[in-house]
Amino acid sequence: MTERFVGKTGIKVSNLCFGTMSFGGNADEQTSKEMFHLTREAGINFFDTANVYSQGRSEEILGECIANCRNEVIISSKVGFPVGKDMNSKGASRRHIFQAVEGSLRRLKTDRIEFYFIHLFDPHTNIEETVRALDDLQRQGKILYPAVSNWSAWQIMKALGISARKELARFELIQPMYNLVKRQAEVELLPLAKEEQLGVISYSPLGGGLLTGKYNHKNLPTQGRLIELKNYARRYGTKQYYTTTEQFIKLAQDYGYHPASLAIAWVLKNPVITAPIIGARNVGQLQDAIRAREIELSDELYDAITNISDTPPLSTDHSREEDLFKGVRR
């Protein structure tokens, strides 16, 4: 498996990251451990979890899995979503971050977390307070690098500016949503990551299952996340996405690839992406995901796939600037 550096950290990771959201939920303990061992056999050394996944059970199972190989793997976890009924058991305040990291360390049975994500933006907490709390955790050795998920580009850039001005630990890894039908990250987040040399582990490469080949206009989902979870229903309920999916599946069949493998390979082809996060509920799904690394995606096929989905509009109209700087070396 190809190895890649995470931004400027000097840490090498596999070009696929295994997300353990299903551990203790859709995948029982035995299945979770079988999938973990399969990923290790495939050369994956990067594992992503969160304190909120299966009410902490995901971290517990992952902690058991890594007990005999802790120094060989890279772990990321998250803080931010509510983890209890107490009014302060959520967000990115210093108080909650300090409490949450201790719980994650205990469940993971480890003394440090390589990448610690702020899971979502907290509008009620000053960004500098969040950044300072993460800097303190890094100095204590409880986390090695701060990271951020589900923040907009301006929020991330503001945090990077505070870190630089105050000489605090900065975000080194971001985790945006990115797949063939959800390409918004191309507008500002991926250019930001490239410019600031941030690592990127993108989530939902299969569009919540939309790009696996199971669904089309005639075979709409009747159960599962795309129906049962409101956020997924809102995220992937657009009819145009099913048109894109049908065209993508046809393309995958023409080239002889499983749609799930090809969808992940398309994300992996983007040079800014460090590693797509793959997830699964069972070994069969995981095998299809891992096969993405076997696909030698040509530029021609990459462009063909890209062209069947809508390219998101630029944040501003740069057409005039592009004309002015054509042929100018920057």
Classify residue 23 by burial, with Cβ atoms within 10 Å: 0-12, 13-18, 19+.
Answer: buried
116 among known catalytic residues: no
Listed in sequence order, the residues at least 6 apart from 10 whose beta carbon sits closer than 8 Å to its beta carbon are: none
Cα→Cα distances 217→2, 214, 230, 247, Å: 37, 11, 20, 11
The tokens for 120 are 């979502």
Q: Which residue type is seen at 295?
A: I
- What is the rounded distance in angstroms from the CA atom of residue 144 to the CA atom of residue 135? 9
Name the catalytic one among 53, 178, 215, 242.
Answer: 53
Taking residue 56's Cβ as centre, other Cβ atoms within 10 Å add up to: 19
Alpha-helical runs (H) found in 54-173? 57-65, 94-108, 127-140, 153-166
Query: Cβ distance 7 to 197 under 8 Å?
Result: yes
Calculate the CA 52 to chain-centre distance: 15
- What is the rounded distance in angstroms from the CA atom of residue 185 to the CA atom of residue 200? 11
SS3 183: coil
Query: Cβ distance 119 to 78 under 8 Å?
Result: yes
- What is the rounded distance in angstroms from the CA atom of residue 232 to the CA atom of residue 111? 35
Q: Which residues are catalytic?
A: 53
